[in-house]
Amino acid sequence: MNPAESTSPRGHILVVDDDDLFLESVSNNLVSAGYSTDTFADGYTAVEHLSAGPAADIVLLDWRMPGMTGIEVLQRMRRDRIEIPVIFLTALDDQIYEEAGLLGGAVDFIEKSRSFSILLKRIELIIEGSKTGVQRPTTGESDNIKQVGALTLRYGSKRALWRNTSVDLTLTEFNIVAYLTTHADRDVSYREIYDIVHGDGFVAGEGELGYRTNVRAFIKRIRQKFRDIDAEFSCITNYPGFGYRWQDGGE
Domain co-membership, 186 together with 88: no
Answer yes or no: is 1 within a domain.
no
Domain co-membership, 124 together with 155: no
Overall number of domains in the chain? 2
Answer yes or no: is 251 within a domain.
no
Q: Which of 128, 149, 179 finishes a domain?
A: 128
Domain co-membership, 163 together with 110: no
Q: pTM of whole model > 0.85?
A: no
Collect all residues with Cβ–Cβ distance below 8 Å to 179 and sequence separation of at least 6.
Answer: 133, 134, 188, 192, 193, 196
Domain co-membership, 91 together with 171: no
Sequential DSSP letters for 62-93: ESS-SSS-HHHHHHHHHHTT----EEEEES--
Q: Highest mean pLDDT range out of 36-50, 65-79, 212-226? A: 36-50
Q: Which of 128, 157, 186 finishes a domain?
A: 128
Provide the domain limits for residue 242: 140-246
The arithmetic mean of pLDDT across residues 149-161, rounded, is 85
Answer yes or no: is 96 within a domain.
yes
Mean per-residue pLDDT of the chain: 80
